[in-house]
Amino acid sequence: MASYLVTGGAGFIGSNIVERLVKEGRRVKVVDNLSTGKIENINEFMDDIEFIKGDLADFTVAKRVVDKVDYIIHQAAIPSVPFSIENPIKANESMVTATVNLFKAAVESGCIKRIVQAASAAVYGNNPILPKHEDMLPEPVSPYAAAKLMQEYYAKAFYSSYGIEIISLRYFNVFGPKQDPKSPYSGVVSIFLSKMLKEERPIIFGDGLTSRDFVFVEDIVNANLQALSCQWTGNSEVINIGRGESISLNELVILLNEILEINLEPLYDAERIGDIKHSVADISKAKKILGFKPSESLKYGLKKLVEWYKMDSKKQG
């Protein structure tokens, strides 16, 4: 039976991937330093996985975790633009250094069949062309975006130099269960929803016209598993993963009000440095290479997230 390593497997996206793999009966190893991940996210699977607490910025950890692994799903990172602006060195360690260590350890193991890694739509920057397509020249405007772009370049370099298959999935704005709204690294959907469930007004940075392509975490999980099994194209591909449609933050608040059957007006604050104004994915490449198909609607994912929050709050008492 094939063995899978999920880096950052106690984090938001990583833990959702772990859950799917375990439910499908796969052999799973998880590494996480728990700087942003939470052990609670994978507690129910601990008897079914091998968990290693460690930081991939340490090469000895990277060497240890790739042992007896066939496939790697690389999610480990500190996924925050504001954090990267305040701490560019630490952000670089968590993404670039950790990734190079992981790739080198994978090459040395000689057993890794393929790596799929989390990239980011942040690399497109403020290029006004919409939708964003993979052939566009990257224009990173934050250290986070620059580090994510370096992960892609290292993927291409390692395939060219060592022949190891690596696919980079450029995530757009991911939301879903296990995304901690209290975390400073959390996404806008979970932050808005957690406030609105308590009948508190959500805070929008800027005028609310900023638009995003919000993609449900189930779609991200599907894309990762499809990328592991798709036919290799002969290139270390970079592939957008989103819904292929955008919505403004003002419209998002209206939609959440509708789902929750309330009527809360947002509060507005100054725009944040490094935030991108508009973003929407061209997902034609994902459809062609992966067979990717996003969930039926944004509302579907938001409703599922509301259900999860309500269930989780009951568990918390």
d(CA 65, CA 54): 9
CA dihedral 153, 159, 160, 161 (to 10 degrees): 100
Tens of each residue's pLDDT in the chain, 317 residues = 899 999 999 999 999 999 999 999 999 999 999 999 999 999 999 999 999 999 999 999 999 999 999 999 999 999 888 899 999 999 999 999 999 999 999 999 999 999 999 999 999 998 889 999 999 999 999 999 999 999 999 999 999 999 999 999 999 999 999 988 776 556 889 999 989 999 999 999 999 999 999 999 999 999 999 999 999 999 999 999 999 999 999 999 999 999 999 999 999 999 887 777 889 999 999 999 999 999 889 999 999 999 998 887 767 65
Instruction: Quote the CA–CA distance of 312 and 112 in Å, as a whole number.
Output: 36
Per-residue tokens: 142: 């934050």
* Integer Cα distance of 29 and 257 in angstroms: 40
Q: Cα separations (Å) of 250 from 98, 210, 265, 271? A: 37, 8, 9, 14
Of 154, 174, 152, 140, residue with least CA distance to 242 = 174
Could you tell me whether strands 247-248 and 211-212 are parallel, antiparallel, or unpaired per DSSP bridges? Answer: antiparallel
- E strand map for 178-270: 203-205, 211-212, 214-216, 238-241, 247-248, 267-269
Contacts of 245 (CB under 8 A, 6+ apart): 213, 280, 298
Among residues 144, 154, 159, 171, the one annotated as catalytic is 144
Q: What is the pTM of this model?
A: 0.94
The domains found in the chain, sorted by start residue, are 3-176+214-243+280-294 (3.40.50.720), 188-210+246-278+305-315 (3.90.25.10)
Give the chain's mean pLDDT.
94
CA distance 149 to 140: 8
144 is catalytic: yes
